[in-house]
Amino acid sequence: MRLRHFAIALSLAAPVLAVAQATSAPAPAKIAPVVQLSVDVPPFYVAGASYGAPPQVAVDPLYDKLLASPRRADIQQAVVAIASKPELVKPDTLIVLAMRLYDVGLRDDAVFWYYAGRDRYLTMAQVLDMRSIQLMRSAEVTEAFLRAAGPAMDGYAYCSIAHQAEQEDRAIAWVATHPYKILGYTELPAATEDRNAALTDAVNHLRDASRKKKVLLAEPKTLADLEDARQRNHAHERYCW
């Protein structure tokens, strides 16, 4: 199970694969910038039916009202609330926060919180047994959010290679500094006898993947492949505005 989830981590972190998933169908004649995310993960999140319309949010009663608001100030208030007590915030909630930040135009913040949600989930999957009946549904929902939000988040993030790397490293540092409290709950089955060692190992995996990606992206061929994928998927028109 741990290998499966870190295979997910590698696929999510691979720059060419990440941007290549943005679209595989022929592009329309006119490419519209993605200014609002049309993400549906019912019953937890359903995007607004039209531009500016608030989504339906049901990921955490503490934050649902703020996250469903169309007002930028309310989304920023959600950031402050979540950042002040992060230990019990679910990965799903962090990803929804990222999507709402994107919708209100705070896309740099959106990328950071998306990576924080992704990495919190990946550490969770390294420590806990996500095949257990208590956690299997949670894993399915989080992976659905990651798949749905990932193309836009990476599509924007890779508008600047250097900035993407900075946001990813910030997110890893945040996850390391704020370990998810439920990882220590003994009523949840663990994937290993030593949960603390597994968490340390998970964070080290993420740091190692980030270092390897920086090396990879320093190679001209990798950069050319990335740019080719982004050109084919019209990532610049969609996200770099």
In this prediction, residues 207-214 reach a mean pLDDT of 96
52-87 pLDDT tens trace: 899 999 999 999 999 999 999 999 999 999 999 999
Task: Return the axis-axis angle of helices 220-232 and 195-217, rounded to nearest 10°.
Answer: 90
What is the tens place of the pLDDT at every residue in 9-65? 444 444 444 443 444 445 556 899 999 999 999 999 999 988 889 999 999 999 999
Confidence of residue 207 (pLDDT cuts 50, 70, 90): very high
In a domain? residue 27: no
For residue 146, which of 6, 1, 10, 12 has the smallest C-alpha distance? 12
Q: Tell me, what's the pLDDT at 141?
A: 97
4 has pLDDT over 70: no
Mean pLDDT of the chain: 90
Inside any domain, residue 136: yes
Helix axes 107-127, 91-103, angle to 10 degrees: 170
The CA distance from 58 to 61, in Å, is 7
Per the structure, the count of domains in the chain is 1
Owning domain of residue 108: 2-12+34-239
Is position 29 within any domain?
no
Say if residue 228's pLDDT is above 80: yes
18 in any annotated domain: no
Residue at 24 is within a domain: no
Greater confidence (185 vs 52) lies with 185
Mean pLDDT of 97-118: 98
Alpha helices in 128-232 (DSSP H): 136-157, 161-177, 195-217, 220-232
